[in-house]
Amino acid sequence: MNYCESKTDNHLEYNQLLEEFILGCKNSQKIGMEYERIPVHKTTGEVISYFGEYGMCELLREFAKEDNWDYILDDTNIIGLKKLHDTITLEPGCQFELSLEPQDYIKEIKNKIEEIDKNLKPILDKFDIKLINKGVSPKTTYRNIELIPKQRYKVMANYLWGILSDVMMRETAGIQVGIDYKSEEDAIKKFNLANLMMPFVTAMFANSKIRGGVDTGYKSFRALAWLNTDNERCGFATRFSDSMCFRDYVNRLLETPMIFINRENRTVDLNGRMTFKQFMDKGYEGFEANINDWKLHSNLYFPEVRLRNFIEIRNHDCVGGGLEYSIPALYKGVMYNKDAYDEANGILCKYSAKEINELRYNVARYGIHAKIRGTKVRDICKNLIEISNYSLKAQGNDEEKYLDPITELIRRNKMPADL
């Protein structure tokens, strides 16, 4: 069926589904960042519980009082904080995530993170908590990590069917980057290149080798967990085709099974019984599809590169020591300079979707030591870093310095997991 021409009997129409992506077109070249870290006891190394006198709920409550943040609630439970355009949220296993307003310059993101961390430190010290920069919990496994009391997480945990979905939800932490696009054509070009870059960048920032206190044999166990979470909504959302358009992405979402909808502050579990297209056509138990259902459904689709009213690149282990700023710097250099984009795309476009997909599995295990068509991933990573470095220098904002930590690691033939 051509969804572009289909009609529905309810008030939600196909063009409304496209609207968020179309409205995302803008002339700015900002960079956004979401930064997840794992909270552990300083003395034991175990993941902090949401509950208890020194749990994450109480930490959020005290930080809100000290630094004038507002609560984000699920029912009566504190699940995050907000201040203007910045948010602090707890992921399913109490991972501590900063979501920052997009900025023109990486130094503005760095300054904001350092300011929040400085204000948070006395409370972390009081609670004997440390936020660690790892892609997976190095000591506590999911069996000993309770879900936070957020309705959607319980439903998701029951639905996601991959053998490592519990690991993904409760143990992993990553860094996500947001990139602007100025037109549909520009969005698709950047979206496709980000997907081509994805396994190479996963490799260079691999940082989840130790899990449950032992060496897993993988450089990025977090990447492996995502590969085994839910193949219907994780992985690729692209054909690597220049003819791809927003409608192709919408149609892919329409064919994805639904997990739940929200009605009157309660979660209605669909548990994959129907796709969003079927929900639009037929409804469910008297409920009709609305635009908020679509936005929720879009946010419950988890490819490594996700199209929103910006391009969200999601495939990086959490790292620290300055490497966290190398990630947005790498993309800023490649994506916001035509010559840099063309050069990077020229290196990567020869690889098929099948080859890139297979490489995702290899880099989870071997990181930069994996190969594609006999070429070492490390060598391609080095090329991408050099391209971004030249581009950032040409932009003249002294942002190439943020690539120094990853440049040095790759020069030494290492990844964060090796440190």
Distance CA 49, CA 323 (A): 27
Residue 155 — very low, low, confident or very high, per pLDDT cuts 50/70/90?
A: very high
Query: Helices in 228-286 by DSSP H: which ranges?
Result: 246-254, 276-282
pLDDT at 8 over 50: no
Measure Cα distances from 279 to 6, 9, 83, 271, 283 in Å: 14, 11, 35, 13, 5
**Is 201:323 a contact under the CB 8 Å cutoff?**
no
Residue 9 — very low, low, confident or very high, per pLDDT cuts 50/70/90?
A: very low
Question: Considering the chain, what is the average pLDDT of its residues?
Answer: 95
Measure Cα distances from 45 to 129, 211, 288 in Å: 9, 12, 47
What pLDDT, on the 0 to 100 scale, is given for residue 242?
Answer: 80
Q: What is the pTM of this model?
A: 0.95
Domain 3-418 has CATH 3.40.640.10: no
Domains of the chain by residue range: 3-418
Residue 343 — very low, low, confident or very high, per pLDDT cuts 50/70/90?
A: very high
Residue 274 — very low, low, confident or very high, per pLDDT cuts 50/70/90?
A: very high
Sequence-ordered list of residues with C-beta below 8 angstroms from that of 192, at least 6 positions apart, any chain: 238, 240, 241, 242, 244
Classify residue 202 by burial, with Cβ atoms within 10 Å: 0-12, 13-18, 19+: buried
Residue 3 — very low, low, confident or very high, per pLDDT cuts 50/70/90?
A: very low
7-16, 111-120, 354-363, 394-403: least confident range: 7-16
What pLDDT, on the 0 to 100 scale, is given for residue 264?
Answer: 86
Which percentage of the chain shows pLDDT scores above 90? 94
Residue showing tokens 């002339």: 27
